[in-house]
Amino acid sequence: MENNGKPLCAVIGVYKPKGWTSFDVVAKLRGILKERRIGHSGTLDPMATGVLAVFVGKATRAIDLLPDNNKSYLAGFKMGVSTDTQDITGKALKSCGKLPSLEELREVSIGFVGDIMQLPPMYSAVKVDGEKLYRLARQGKTVERTPKPRRVEKLSIQEYDGATGEGVLYAEVGKGTYIRTLINDIGEKLGCGGCMTSLERLSAAGFAKEQCYTLEQIRQYADENKLSQIMIPLSRVLAEFYDGLTLGERAAAMYKNGVKLRGEQAGIKNGSLADGAAFTVFDSGGGLLGVARYDNENDELKSVKNFY
């Protein structure tokens, strides 16, 4: 797929439907967009819905450049039940008839805000000795895992029914944080157990739920040749996270030929930028060349990723 004769290099916010894997979404979009080079950031489990940032064309090279932090979720939960998957789809391990009050639930939840340690669940894509945990879990195996440091910025109970143990929580978390494990651990701390019943990602990778499109909507835009209205150029997405640097014609040609530019050649005054500062690099016509870092000590511009 091309955009005005140029290879596509864009990102689109997709609202992932329930029951689909993140890979299912990518496979479907390959057919809709007629483009093989498609990837995503921030995998969502099949039972989850919500924000999935999808990278198209050359933009797939930038997946690892977008921050994987500051994700927000709305999750349904049920206290009094623990399962092997830590969500409602799993096999019940134990149940408890004594349910916590709203006050008890909120008091314990506060203790999970900030820097915490989380044990990766067996039903996850985390690898141990080169093997994904969920594959071992499906074989009925359990292996030793090491707790990992995680960050929970915000956590609040939005709804709760003390009679049924059912409720909804809102969470803002950092990279690698499992919401179902968070609910499981809160339940364990309360002594009654808990599992996740639903999950909606509200924001991730700079995209909010309101900026996302369903697969049906994307299909309609494609059929009407209006994809440019919903595809966001990679340069605009990167601008949310990196400052920009424009090179003159000669410097841009040298950069594209792999020459390590000195600060003066790139228009950077030595010492004017923090060492290792990263920014997007453009040619004089506004074309995105890549992302680079400036090395103060050696006074040179070093390429991180190229898009030309």
The residues annotated as belonging to the active site are: 45
d(CA 160, CA 29): 38
Q: Which two tokens stand for residue 122?
A: 């067996």
Residue 54 bridge partners (DSSP): 12, 40
Nearest to 85 by CA among 75, 93, 76: 93
Does residue 53 sit in helix, strand or coil? strand
d(CA 250, CA 18): 51
Nearest to 296 by CA among 265, 268, 281, 275: 275
Strand intervals (E) in the chain: 2-3, 6-7, 9-16, 38-41, 49-57, 71-79, 81-83, 92-95, 114-118, 127-128, 131-132, 148-161, 166-173, 194-204, 207-208, 232-233, 243-246, 278-282, 288-295, 300-306
CA triple 44-45-47, angle to 5 deg: 120
